[in-house]
């Protein structure tokens, strides 16, 4: 069953519902008729090629861009958001712990001087660091951490305000395969343990197949949405990309292989390298 039908009101476990959302930027229609719903504890992959509108859609859901059609409803309690390509410079005077602390109260004016509130903040920070397995490098300067470690800290930062919806823009970009697997596993665990609905964008479906409950595919300004098993199929993906894409199962994992384009080589090579490293 596809997830196209949006509940009239947000159900108790629905954290985000889009209906017929359209976006125009610089006079160009970027997205049209995007509808899907996301529930607490679910992980949805927002998949599409570069320029398909993934970042735009995430910004619209966060509220940084206004849609010009359709409705967006979000559960109360705010949104955790990690933008694309967050560059944490080595000279940033922030420990990993300080970044998570900014997730607690970074938007507030003034200083936090009350010891009670400082203790409360510290407790939340420690909890979030533990939730993303980052306690070991909590005291390190955040700019000196690896890409995967930084992504963990940014996720902890986004979770610190206890949102019910977590939006991650290309959290796997520039990660090596091991870090990618770690972050993906973490995202699945965070969704279950923290009870948040996670929507994360990626240009490649492969790393996410193991963790996704739902896919939102963007191509040609439109979206195909549904459970992973229904959308991650040869016919659907082929239609979406406009070229032949095979979905095959290897060792219990779904492997997506573009069969004809140059991309296909990249995918196959990546896959070969991945299995080579895993064994």
Partner 1 sequence: MSLGGLIAPGFFSNGPVRAALLTGGVVAVVTAVVGIFTVLRRQSFAGHTLGEVGTTGGSAAFLAGVNPLWGFVAIALVAAGAIELVGVRRPRQRDLAAGLVLGAGLGLAALFLYLGSVTSPASGGASTSILFGSIFIIGPSMVSSIVALSAGALALIALCGRRMLLVSLHPDLAASRGVRLRLVGAIYLLALAIAVSLAAETIGAVLATALLVGPPATALRLTRRPGRALVAASLVGVAAVWLGILLSYDSYTWPPAGRTWPVSFFVVALVLVFYLAAQLPVRRLRARPRARARGEV
The verdict on 137 binding partner 1 (CB under 8 A) reads: no
Chain positions 221 to 260 lying near partner 1, rule: CB under 8 A, are none
* CA–CA dist 227, 231 (Å, integer): 6
Q: How far is the CB of 103 from partner 1 (least distance, A)?
A: 8
Distance of CA 258 to the CA centre of its chain: 23
Question: Is residue 157 at the binding interface for partner 1, with CB under 8 A as the rule?
Answer: yes
Q: Write the DSSP string, 112-157.
A: ---HHHHHHHHHHHHHHHHHTT-GGGTTSBGGGS-HHHHHHHHHHH
Among 49, 69, 92, 236, binds partner 1 (CB under 8 A): 92
Among 111, 235, 249, 252, binds partner 1 (CB under 8 A): 111
Residue 19 interacting with partner 1 (CB under 8 A): no
Q: Which of residues 64 and 248 has its CB atom nearest to partner 1 in the complex?
A: 64
Give start and end residues of each alpha helix (H) in the chain: 54-62, 96-105, 115-131, 147-159, 177-194, 228-231, 234-241, 262-278
177 belongs to the binding site for partner 1 (CB under 8 A)? no
User: Whose Cβ is closer to partner 1: residue 95's or residue 214's?
Assistant: 95
Binding letters toward partner 1, positions 44-83, x by CB under 8 A? ---------------x--xxx-------------xx-xxx
Strands 79-82 and 165-168, by their bridges, are parallel
**Binding of partner 1 by 164 (CB under 8 A):** no
Do residues 84 and 173 touch, judged by C-beta distance below 8 A? Answer: yes
Q: Which of 19, 42, 98, 170 binds partner 1 (CB under 8 A)?
A: 98
Identify the burial level of 28 via C-beta atoms within 10 angstroms of its C-beta, where 0-12 means exposed, 13-18 middle and 19 or more buried: exposed
Which residues of the shown chain bind partner 1 in the complex (CB under 8 A)?
A: 59, 62-64, 78-79, 81-83, 86-88, 91-95, 98-99, 102, 105-111, 140-141, 154, 157, 161
């Amino acid at each position: 069953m596809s997830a196209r039908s949006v509940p009239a009101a947000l159900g108790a476990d629905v954290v985000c519902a889009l209906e017929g959302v359209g976006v125009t930027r610089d006079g160009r229609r970027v997205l049209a008729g995007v509808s899907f719903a996301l529930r607490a504890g679910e992980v949805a992959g927002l998949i599409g090629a570069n320029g398909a509108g993934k970042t735009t859609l995430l910004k619209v859901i966060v509220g940084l861009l206004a849609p010009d059609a359709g409705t967006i409803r979000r559960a109360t309690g705010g949104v955790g958001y990690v933008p694309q390509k967050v560059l944490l410079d080595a000279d940033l005077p922030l420990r990993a712990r300080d970044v998570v602390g900014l997730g607690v109260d970074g938007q507030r004016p003034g200083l936090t001087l009350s010891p009670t509130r400082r203790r409360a903040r510290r407790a939340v920070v420690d909890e979030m660091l533990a939730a993303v397995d980052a306690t070991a490098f909590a005291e390190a300067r955040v700019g000196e951490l690896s890409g995967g470690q930084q992504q963990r800290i940014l996720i902890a930062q986004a979770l610190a305000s206890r949102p019910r919806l977590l939006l991650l823009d290309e959290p796997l970009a520039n990660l090596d395969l091991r870090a990618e697997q770690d972050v993906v596993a973490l995202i699945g665990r965070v969704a279950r343990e923290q009870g948040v609905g996670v929507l994360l964008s990626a240009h490649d479906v492969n790393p996410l197949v193991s963790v996704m409950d739902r896919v939102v595919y963007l191509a040609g300004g439109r979206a195909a949405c549904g459970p992973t098993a229904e959308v991650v199929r040869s016919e659907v993906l082929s239609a979406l990309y406009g070229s032949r894409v095979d979905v095959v199962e290897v060792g219990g994992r779904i492997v997506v292989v573009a069969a004809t384009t140059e991309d296909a080589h990249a995918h196959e090579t990546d896959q070969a390298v991945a299995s080579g490293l895993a064994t």
